[in-house]
Amino acid sequence: MDRQRRVGIILIIVGICIPLITLPFLSGYSKDRGIFENLYRVGIDLRKDKPANAGNQAPGKLEEREHKTLHFSRLIPKRIPFRFFLVITLILLYLGIVKMNASGHKQNGHFEESQ
C-alpha cells in the first residue's frame, strides 16, 4: 500500500470520526421534528442566554442600556451548528476518495497529461 492510499484512508476515517465525536455534546434535538429541521437546529452550546429581565431593573430600561453599551460577550456565538461538522466531514471524505483514486491511477501507469 503506497503513501497516497494510506493518506486517503486516514482522511476518510478522520472524516467519519469528527461527527461521531461531537454527538455527545449536541443539544437541540427533538423527536417531533423532521430530519432537516433537526439538522438545522442541533448544535453544540457554547454559552447560555441570560434571562431577559436580569437584576432588579424594569424591562424597558434594560433594553435601552443594552443598546448603549458594547458587550464582548455578544461577539461569542451561542452555538456551533452541527451542519458545520458535516461539511468538514464531506470535504475530508471527498479528499480521501480523490487521494485513493490518484494512487490507483499511479499504480496502473495511467497519468493525466496536462495541456
Q: How many domains does the chain have?
A: 1
| Residue 114 included in any domain | no
- Structure pTM? 0.68
Name the residue among 44, 20, 39, 29 with its Cα closest to residue 92. Answer: 20
Q: Which residue has the cell 475530508?
A: 92
Q: Which percentage of the chain shows pLDDT scores above 70?
A: 74
Q: What is the pLDDT of residues 55-110, one digit of tens each?
A: 555 555 555 555 667 777 777 788 899 999 999 999 999 999 999 998 877 766 66
Q: What's the confidence (pLDDT) of residue 60?
A: 56
| Residue 113 included in any domain | no
- Full domain range(s) for residue 65: 3-48+56-108
Q: What's the confidence (pLDDT) of residue 115?
A: 45
Q: What's the confidence (pLDDT) of residue 104?
A: 77
**Size of the chain in residues:** 115
| Residue 18 included in any domain | yes
